[in-house]
Amino acid sequence: MSRFRVEQIKEAAEIGQKDAARALSSLAKRSVNISTTEANIVDKGHITEAISDLKEDSVIVYTQTIPGSDGLSFLSLERMDALALVDLFNQREKGTTQVMTGFDYSTLTETLNILANSYVNALARMSGKDILLSVPKTANKNLIRELSQKMISQDMEAVGVLFGTDLEIEDENFSVGLFFFFLTPTSSEEEQINK
């Protein structure tokens, strides 16, 4: 997968946030606004830093690109935000959910599914590249660290596409970390590919 351009990422963010807001509004049965607070290309150092910044009790959902595992996307929420988001999407009074069940986790995996696919589909359209994502799964910080280290340790260059997102659902605000990391050919590898 060759490099993305910053302008493609910015444009994908504009389209992705609108598509995601429409889909999440339908899921939540209430008005959802999404703003992209950051849309940029980051290096592998930023990838490591982003994972280090995750809190141990963060609720994390991830998906990988298919075929192969040359890309990783994950969504992270602080635990209290995750509980509140589950309550909102399931039309429960805030504070109802104290311990998440499998059904509650499925609400969060569906949230990532909508967010990730909205942004990735827009990015694929802007860049002319095919990007397919696997079914989302829950994870912990250690698994995300392990998956990202496998990517970073490969010969190809690890480049992160960062979409920082804020969700506003009626009068509630949620800061959601949404990260995409892709392996991209180095300049010399791109020259070989394009020969």
Longest dimension (CA), the chain: 60
**Within 10 Å of residue 80's Cβ, how many Cβ atoms?**
11
Residue 3 CA to residue 187 CA, distance in Å, equals 10
Domains and CATH numbers, the chain: 6-193 (3.40.1550.10)
Q: Give pLDDT, residue 98.
A: 92
Residue 150 CA to residue 86 CA, distance in Å, equals 31
Spans in the chain with pLDDT lower than 70: 1-3, 68-69, 154-158, 183-195
DSSP 25: H
Kindly write down the DSSP assignment for every residue of 80-140, as one continuous string. Answer: HHHHHHHHHHTT--TT--SS--HHHHHHHHHHHHHHHHHHHHHHHHHHT---EE---EEE-
pTM for the whole structure? 0.78
